[in-house]
Amino acid sequence: MRLFYLYPDQDPYFPFSKSVESYIRSYAAMGISYCNATMTLDLLDRKNKYSNGFCHWPVPAWVKPDGTFVPSQTNFTSLADPSAVGSGLTALQTLMHEAGHAAHFANIKQPSPLFSQERAPTSVAYAENQSMFLDSLVGDAAWRAKYARDLDGKPIPFEVIEEGIRSTHPFTVFQLRSMLSVSYFEKALYELPDDEVTPEKVQALADEIELKIQGGLSPRPLLSVPHLVSDEASCYYQGYTVSLFQNVDVYLEVHRLFLLTQLIFSYRVAL
């Protein structure tokens, strides 16, 4: 999941109490449903809770040999702290992302449960393309103009959206470089000869990759990324970055279709 920088004046328009409502309204407007899935949401941070949002399926959706559809059972989490500045945006982004995974796999109707879960034959890039497109909407100016509202229901002013873009957009490449660092670190780590795999060498290698890719040591050290110490999440960041570029293609196509529709409409009006 990408992180959007929160310009201070934007915080009132992302109240934590409105996060679930904004997510539901957004998905409903896009026609996204869950095919009668059962969903359990664990949104608040607490002591000893796993330090990363995730989604998993105790029961995957599938179609039995007799044609009966088995709805999925889904659990997904967030790490929001309602007392913290920016908690509303954090909760909303995680909701949009993890709920995207839940919707994706809830709507797969294949004759085996293997096709509606995150492991093989599903690829990371394929799974993340769905969820990262949906969480990217939270940073879209048009989405914010419609859904970002304060506790009194007032929409976010355009001036606040514009100032936020001008203040943060030039630095978004740093997040991409941070994500790429994880992939390059994994590559370098897996290429190390066995006799060189020591704690000191691994730490030095992480610092070396951060300096090379990000231009300096990261405020989030590479070795704190939970995906690196979990076998089922290894190489996940390759999928995240591929999905980012896929999302750009989707936005360009949507924009092209919008302009084409406007052109056709204008032509018909002229006639």
The pLDDT of residue 68 is 96
Instruction: Say which amino acid occupies 216.
Output: G
Taking only the tens place, the pLDDT of each residue in 173-225 is 888 888 899 999 999 999 999 999 999 999 999 999 999 999 998 888 898 88
- Radius of gyration, CA atoms only, the chain: 21
pTM to 2 decimals? 0.78
β pairing state of 69-70 and 55-59: unpaired
Tokens of 113: 């449960």
DSSP percent split of the chain into helix, strand, coil, nearest 5: 60, 10, 30
The pLDDT of residue 260 is 63
Domain boundaries, the chain: 8-156, 174-270
Instruction: Say which amino acid occupies 120.
Output: A
Percent over 90 (pLDDT), the chain: 40
- Right CATH for 8-156 from 1.20.58.340, 3.40.50.300, 1.10.357.10, 1.10.1370.40: 1.10.1370.40
User: Helices 199-214 and 172-190, interaxial angle, to 10°?
Assistant: 140
Contact 240, 128 (CB under 8 A): yes
